[in-house]
Amino acid sequence: MSLDPEIFDAPVRADLLHTVVTAQLAARRSGTHATRNRALVSGGGRKPYKQKGTGRARQGTTRAPQFAGGGVAFGPQPRSYAQRVPKKIRRAALRSALSLRKSEDAVHVVPSLDLPEIKTRALVEKLQALGVVDALIVTPERDRTLELSGRNLPGVKVIAVAGLNVYDVLVHRSLVILEAAMPAIKEKVR
């Protein structure tokens, strides 16, 4: 099958790939880290000693940041690490990643990968016939049989076109695309 040059012969833009992969990895972060400031640490309700006459610095509470057992000043608080990437940049980066794989002769378009049952060995045999070990398998829609057959294989990931992304294309050395998925890929990157 001839590959669409608009998608698979696009210029490889390392800057766009970096931007999109960085954003994808940042969005994965949970951002649930938290420290307690002086208001959240328990205790320290009264003044530790009187304001004047001791010769020491004035203190209002033993839970201030300068005390052991006190709160943390400017510590991390829960937040989102997600970065907004414009749609045109995401699409251009995906075209770049697909073009990179094609330039490495790592794109295999197959008519189908139908498995009679959920069987990892059957999928391994089909991939070996293609000469592929580490692969991203792109299907038109979610295929439960393929997903379950491939989930235990290191380096193999089965993904629907809707979930196709730059990071997965770059992480896997080969791209196995079902023929039926090609129109959906064209629609996704245009």
Residue-wise pLDDT for 53-75, tens only, equals 999 999 999 999 999 999 999 99
Q: What pLDDT, on the 0 to 100 scale, is given for residue 120? A: 92
Residues with Cβ within 8 Å of 23's Cβ and at least 6 positions away in sequence, in order, are 82, 83, 84, 85
The Cα 171–Cα 150 span in angstroms is 16
What pLDDT band is residue 4 in, cutting at 50, 70 and 90? confident
What pLDDT band is residue 189 in, cutting at 50, 70 and 90? confident
Residue-wise pLDDT for 159-188, tens only, equals 999 999 999 999 999 999 999 999 999 998
In a domain, 35, yes or no: no
Say yes or no to pLDDT of 1 above 80. Answer: no
What pLDDT band is residue 154 in, cutting at 50, 70 and 90? very high
In a domain, 49, yes or no: no
Could you tell me which residues are beta bridge partners of residue 178?
110
Q: Assign residue 156 the CATH number of its domain.
A: 3.40.1370.10
Apex 80 CA angle, 79 and 86, nearest 5: 150
In a domain, 161, yes or no: yes
What pLDDT band is residue 158 in, cutting at 50, 70 and 90? very high
In a domain, 118, yes or no: yes
Closest of 102, 135, 132, 74 to residue 1, by C-alpha:
102
Instruction: Report the number of distinct structural domains present in the chain.
Output: 1
What pLDDT band is residue 3 in, cutting at 50, 70 and 90? confident
pTM over 0.85: no
Say yes or no to pLDDT of 35 above 90. Answer: yes
Tell me, rounded to whole angstroms, the distance of Cα 150 from its chain centroid.
19
Under a CB-based contact definition with an 8 Å cutoff, are residues 145 and 115 in contact?
yes
> Which residue range is the domain that position 114 belongs to?
5-29+81-189
Residue-wise pLDDT for 92-147, tens only, equals 999 999 999 999 989 999 998 888 899 999 999 999 998 998 999 999 999 899 99
Under a CB-based contact definition with an 8 Å cutoff, are residues 152 and 163 in contact?
no
Q: What pLDDT, on the 0 to 100 scale, is given for residue 37? A: 93
In a domain, 76, yes or no: no
